[in-house]
Structure 1
Amino acid sequence: MSKQKIIIDPITRIEGHLRIEVEIDENNVVTEAWASGQLFRGIETILKGRDPRDSGLIAQRICGVCTNVHYRASISAVEAAYGIEIPHNAEIIRNLVTLSLFVQDHIVHYYHLHSLDFVDITGALSADCNKAAKDAASWCEHPYRNSDGHLEAIKEKLEGFVKAGRLGLFANGYWGHATYRFTPEENLVHMNHYLEALRIQRELSKAVAIFAGKTPHPQNLVVGGVTSVADMLNPQRLNDFLFIIKETRDFIERAYIPDMVMLVNAYRDSIKAGEGRAVGNFMCCGGYRFGKDQQLFSSGVIKAHNFESIEPFDSSKITEEASRSWYENDAPLSPYEGDTTPFYTDLNDDGSLKTEGKYTWVKAPRYDGNVMEVGPLARMIVGYSKNSPIIRPYMERFMKRSGMELIDFSTTVGRNAARAVEAQICCDYLFDTMSDLIENIKYYDEDTWTKYVFEELPHEAKGAGIFEVPRGVLGHFVRIEEGKIANYQAVVPTTWNASPKGAKEGRGAYEESLIGIQLADPSAPLEVLRAVHSFDPCLACAVHVIDATGRELAQYKISPVCSL
């Protein structure tokens, strides 16, 4: 049986540097895959020896996109180590910011990072605008900004880009690829919403900044609570936040959800074929309290797509190993004991990965020894399977509207559908979360910080901040000795999903999702990009190591190639 290797390096429209290598057989079916984090960078080591209260401001620099969630997880890890309980208002404000980021991240991911794997821009140029308006109305009773005149203007704008040769980030797409499924009119509707989503995501940044001070790299969190007191007590600021969320909800209901139903309909064959399905192990830590005792997300672990059997989540079962990663210590270790001493073994002479040995800077996290997939798909499947009174009704409504079954979500297209449903849930429940804050203020509860005396806190402690964040389960783990940080590890969503093969266990979620995919054209591996993009990769988060002395360890050159 003859085999070909395809190398895509770098994967674009993601955060960070990712290389994918796949082997295909004579029928162009992927038989093996390797996902490799290619950038050596870091944070964790430089936190050693520092005051634990400083960890958040440094740890948020792990990524330029996921700044708030790393900031929050880091601060929360220190609070857990010291046993500090934050006021309810502080928790609410943290949740308002984080859930706004969920919505923004999901909208940006689909429209600006992933939709062009499904949308043929050049196909939109031949669209009949009147027909496009009618088509949009078939997916939604009141489509978002859908008049003939508006669609004509969008079409003219796209034509102008093409004629002027100013396609910019659209320049190197696989336009005209055989696996594009949308009609010209559906392509135009999607491109209309692509442009509208640019404005929506900008407004959501304003909403985040109301309580976070700025974004990215907010400044509102401190050990013990938040500093956003003036904004919390300003009715105009609260109203500004709610106005943006209301406008966003309108976009989700009239554009994002209908577009997702359109996507499911167009790519139903690939869904039913299970294209992009990974191992079927899903993990959620749950969280985001509101009301009296309600949680937005359910916790639990599902294995091998067995939706009837849900294990409780136990963070003590998390380990990381590096048998196939460029680090010295191969052993599966608790994050509290994690070691990130680099050991780079280079590439083969022909520039390919040494796939039988170490081949990535991403470690291999395991839950009770198992590969796990985390993210919106995991949260929606676990919530649905546990009969969550919040998640299940939204999922059932989308399933009825789209004709999907639960197993269908465990696919390339299904991950996008799950993410859209989650965006709708988060947006709706931002109003409930804000109601909790207003209710507290109404009854003169204005506390946002728990007072403590640092010198009286324990000098030996350890703690973890574990949260659901847009891409999945994020954990920051800190061990404190003599009042300083002795060890620090972040186990992030993309580390779970982009995990390499382990010493005993199989492929990570990225790698497994590629197995069995048939390429229409090996020289244009769009199907590979679709599957990988569906996870919303953030490799900057997944790889974080640095030499504390600042000396140069090595130099690495990455050449953009897609070779056979």
Structure 2
Amino acid sequence: MAQRITIDPVTRIEGHLRIDVEVDGGQVTKAWSSGQMYRGLENILKGRDPRDAWLFVQRICGVCTTVHALASVRSVENALGLQIPLNAQLIRNMVQSIHCLHDHIVHFYALSALDWVDVVSALDADPVATAKLADSLSDWHGNSPKRFAAVKDKVKALVASGQLGPFANAYWGHSAMKLPPEANLMAVSHYLEALDYQRKATQALAIISGKNPHIQNLSVGGVTTNLNPENQTAVTMERLYYIKQLVSEVRDFIKMVYMTDVVAVGALYKEWLPYGAGVTNYLAAPDMFLDAAGIKADLPGGTVMNGDLSTIKPISTIADPYFIENVEESISKAWYEGDWSKHPWEESTDPKFTQFEDEGKYTWLKAPRFQGKPMQVGPLAQMVVGYAQGHERTIKAVDSFLSRVSAVAGVQVGPEILHGTVGRHAARAVRAGIMADLCLEHWDKLVNNIATGDYEIFNPPVFPKGEQRGVGVHEAPRGLLSHWIVIQDGKIKNYQCVVPSTWNAGPRDEQGQLGPYEASLMGNPIADPERPLEVLRTIHSFDPCIACAVHMLDPEGKETVKVKAL
């Protein structure tokens, strides 16, 4: 007999997400993904100056602030046909790549590692054996018996106190936890180190963007980052070199610790490689642009259908008609007025809440579709699209990672293992390494361009009479983000955000096609319905980001977390 499980809210994410599944025979047979928050910024923006939109849309989220700002200014520039100076392009690239490094580190260690790592089990680990294991994977300077012994003592003190802090309320001792004690102790030690390295990334981002979160250095037409090596009120070479130092340290952590830990999880949980694929239609956009026109890019875009690399179709620029003409959103299962599928430029955002209805409307999230099909976006989509296009940097990074997994697992694995829960973690780690390299490369390009005497950072926009339509596209840490704007006589007439977690967490459409979260849960094993760890593993692998910094609290101010098994 089927059993219903409701996880509401899903924790260790940004925003409020509800997941319902039916379990029969120890596996998921039905699934629903419900975004439980209404986002009304689209309506707030109507009638405003397009140059101000980026400051508003950053407030969609307390994590993804940078990415919404960037997509917004690009949407206005696209509508006006406005090119930005090369310096501005390179500074934006550095901002987005540094933000990405912070985001990916936080996601793996703070938001999802505890689905795989049993912290309490680390108390049974031998610090000397742990150091030997860690040394077999990398020569990171923090992998010493002394360090691991100190971390073990810290965990022991937390457990003895009964106050586990960030490690509270997890499923310790769950039968699906498979890592040996030494691997758990290594991961806990790296968890604590990750706190320092995500801080270094945040510090670098604040230096170049003026503030974090909610950056201050963007503008329609370029950036406001004053470049002058001789002026102490500007971003001097001293500050630029400090940014480089911080990013270099973060890159070392990513390549020697983060990627190594994901290799270990992938190899030691190899039985999980087949689970969590779901939708294998992939969509990614070009990004990290190399020229003022935004035509040449270091990251390729395109689509791959049904996981078949031979179906690759490139998306060459932000203005590529193949992308612009094929995106629409359905509200068939969403709490909005009507029952339509429309292009974002033609959409409205008219809330109409009912109740959660399995066969009716059950979410605030719309259902984005590309040529009528659900698409998965995110680091996995980027790696698949790049690999399919023969993108040299992507192929080299992915193959190197898979080789390391094969060595630890003792079995040869290929790109096919990326289609799933563990594969999403692998792709994100690989992408973090790529973005760290690109950040430093674009730092070099910026410094070299400044050395020629070019300090230009801004081209002023001009708003003509009549209507203009634009789209701003950006490969955010969670995947393809697009902001769609309609401008009438210099004011915003319509504004729609189609965000990565809408693509992935969106509901069924009018044809009954499941969204990627829902599809990825189908067939997942569930060992203990009272403790649905396996559901969290797959959902967390997407890095859900539903809205901005919202917590469910009871009247006494205590967090409310509900898991029901009926």
TM-score range, shorter chain: over 0.9
Partner of 1:460: 467
Q: Which amino acid aligns with 2:132?
A: K
| Distance in 1, Cα, partners of 2:272 & 2:537 | 11
**2:227–2:455: 8 Å Cα contact kept in structure 1?**
no
Does 2:194 correspond to 1:197? Answer: yes
Q: Could you tell me which residue of structure 1 aligns to residue 477 of structure 2?
A: 470
Match in the other structure for 1:498 = 505
Residue 143 of structure 2 aligns with which residue?
A: 146
Asked if the contact 1:369/1:505 (under 8 Å) is kept, the reply is no
Alpha-carbon distance in 1 for matches of 2:98, 2:297:
16
Question: Which residue does 1:305 correspond to in 2?
Answer: 307
Secondary structure of the structure 1 residue equivalent to 2:13: coil
Partner of 2:318: none
Deviation at 1:560, TM superposition (A): 2.8
Residue 485 (str. 1) matches residue 492 (str. 2): yes
> What amino acid does structure 1 have at the position aligned with 2:19?
I
Instruction: Output the amino acid matched with 1:372.
Output: M
Q: Which residue of 2 aligns with 1:449?
A: 458
Distance 1:252-1:112 versus aligned 2 partners, 3 A rule: same
Cα distance change on mapping 1:291 and 1:159 into 2, 3 Å: farther
- Say whether the 8 Å CA contact 2:129–2:182 is kept in structure 1: yes
Contact 1:89-1:447 within 8 A present in 2 as well: yes
Task: Give the equivalent residue in structure 2 for 1:256.
Answer: 258
CA distance in 1, matches of 2:462, 2:541: 46
Deviation string, structure 1 residues 303-327 (Cα, Å, up to 9, x no partner): 1111121123422200011000001
| Distance in 1 between residues matched to 2:286 and 2:77, nearest whole Å | 19
1:563 Cα deviation after fit: 3.2
Q: Distance in 1 between matches of 2:173 and 2:491?
A: 57
Q: Is the 8 A contact 2:61 2:547 kept in 1?
A: yes
The structural deviation recorded for 1:433 is: 0.3
In 2 relative to 1, CA 426–419 (structure 1 residues): closer, same or farther, beyond 3 Å?
A: same
Q: Supply the distance in 1 between the matched residues of 2:549 and 2:487 (Cα, whole angstroms).
A: 23
Say yes or no: does 1:105 pair with 2:103. Answer: yes
Secondary structure of 2:185's match?
Answer: helix
Question: Which secondary structure does the structure 2 equivalent of 1:210 belong to?
Answer: helix
Question: Residue 362 of structure 2 aligns with which residue?
Answer: 359
**Counterparts of 1:279 and 1:254, CA distance in 2:** 31
In structure 1, the residue matched to 2:516 is 509
Distance 2:439 2:73 in 1: 22
Change (3 A) 1:291 1:484: closer
Counterpart CA distance in 1 for 2:314 and 2:256 is 36
- In the alignment, is residue 20 of structure 1 matched against residue 22 of structure 2? no
* Farther off after superposition, 170-179 or 294-303: 294-303
Q: CA deviation at 1:253?
A: 1.7
Matching of residue 333 in structure 1 with residue 331 in structure 2: no
1:376 aligns with 2:379: yes
Q: 2:182 aligns with which of 169, 180, 185?
A: 185
Deviations 1:26-76 (A, max 9, x none): x12100100000122421100001111111111111111100110111111
Q: CA deviation at 1:294?
A: 5.5
**Aligned residue in 2 for 1:553:** none
Number of the residue aligned with 1:8: 7
Aligned residue type for 1:399: L
The corresponding residue for 2:231 is: none
Contact 2:465/2:488 (<8 A) preserved: no
Of 245, 268, 289 in structure 2, the residue corresponding to residue 266 of structure 1 is 268
Q: Which amino acid is 1:139 matched to?
A: L
2:123 to 121, 125, 129: 125
Q: TM-score, normalised by structure 2?
A: 0.92
Q: CA deviation at 1:278?
A: 1.2
1:206-243: per-residue Cα shift (whole Å, max 9, x none)?
11111110110111111111111147750111111000
**Contact (CA 8 Å) 1:371, 1:509: kept in 2 or not?**
yes
Q: How many residues align?
A: 538
How far apart are the structure 2 equivalents of 1:452 and 1:77? Answer: 12
Which piece of structure 1 moves more, 291-300 or 37-46?
A: 291-300
SS in structure 2 opposite 1:463? strand
Structure 1 distance, partners of 2:335, 2:471, is 25
Tell whether the 8 Å contact from 1:257 to 1:420 is kept in structure 2 after alignment: yes
Q: Helix, strand or coil: the match of 1:390?
A: helix
Equivalences for residues 151-162 of structure 1 within 5 A: 151-162=148-159
- Structure 1 pair 291–184 and aligned structure 2 pair: CA distance change class (3 A): farther
Give identity over the alignment, percent: 45
Name the counterpart of 2:409: none
Give me the TM-score of the superposition, normalised by structure 1.
0.93
Indicate if the aligned counterparts of 1:377 and 1:418 stay in contact, CA closer than 8 A: yes
Quote the Cα distance in structure 2 between the aligned partners of 1:536 and 1:399. 22
Q: CA deviation at 1:143?
A: 2.8
Amino acid of the structure 2 residue aligned with 1:441:
I
| Kept in 2: contact 1:493–1:542 (CA 8 A) | no
The answer to whether the Cα contact below 8 Å between 1:144 and 1:255 also exists between their aligned partners in 2 is no
Work out whether residues 494 and 542 of structure 1, in 8 Å CA contact, stay in contact via their aligned partners in 2.
no
Task: Report how far residue 262 of structure 1 moved.
Answer: 0.7
Distance 1:288 1:211 in 2: 17
Aligned partner of residue 481 in structure 2, secondary structure = strand
Letter in 1 for 2:362: Y
Residue matched to 1:289: 289
Contact 1:302 1:311 in 2 (8 A): yes
Letter in 2 for 1:519: I
Q: SS of the counterpart of 1:258?
A: helix
CA contact under 8 A between 1:380 and 1:418: conserved in structure 2?
Answer: yes
State the alpha-carbon separation in 1 of the partners of residues 327 and 278 from structure 2.
20
Aligned position for 1:554: none
Contact persistence 1:144–1:254 (CA under 8 A): no
Q: Distance in 2 between matches of 1:76 and 1:244?
A: 28
Work out the CA distance in 1 between the residues paired with 2:452 and 2:424.
42
Deviations along 1:268-292, one digit per CA (max 9) or x if unpaired, are: 1111xx1111121000112212389
Contact 1:363–1:499 (CA under 8 A) maintained in structure 2: yes
**What is the alpha-carbon distance in structure 1 between the residues aligned to residue 470 and residue 164 of structure 2?**
49
- DSSP-derived class of the 1:539 partner: coil
**In the alignment, structure 1 residue 388 sits paired with structure 2 residue 391:** yes
Q: Distance in 2 between matches of 1:15 and 1:451?
A: 35
- Amino acid of the structure 2 residue aligned with 1:303: M
Q: CA deviation at 1:296?
A: 2.3
Moved more, 388-397 or 368-377: 388-397
CA–CA distance in structure 1, aligned partners of residues 396 and 71 of structure 2: 29
Unaligned runs of at least 5 residues, structure 2: 229-233, 316-322, 407-412, 551-558
- Cα 1:173–1:321 shift into 2, 3 Å: same
Report if the CA contact (8 A) 1:100-1:207 is conserved: yes
Structure 2 equivalent of residue 243 of structure 1:
245
AA of the residue aligned to 2:270? R
Alignment of 1:82-93 (within 5 A): 82-93=80-91
- Code of the aligned partner of 2:337: E
Change (3 A) 1:306 1:168: same
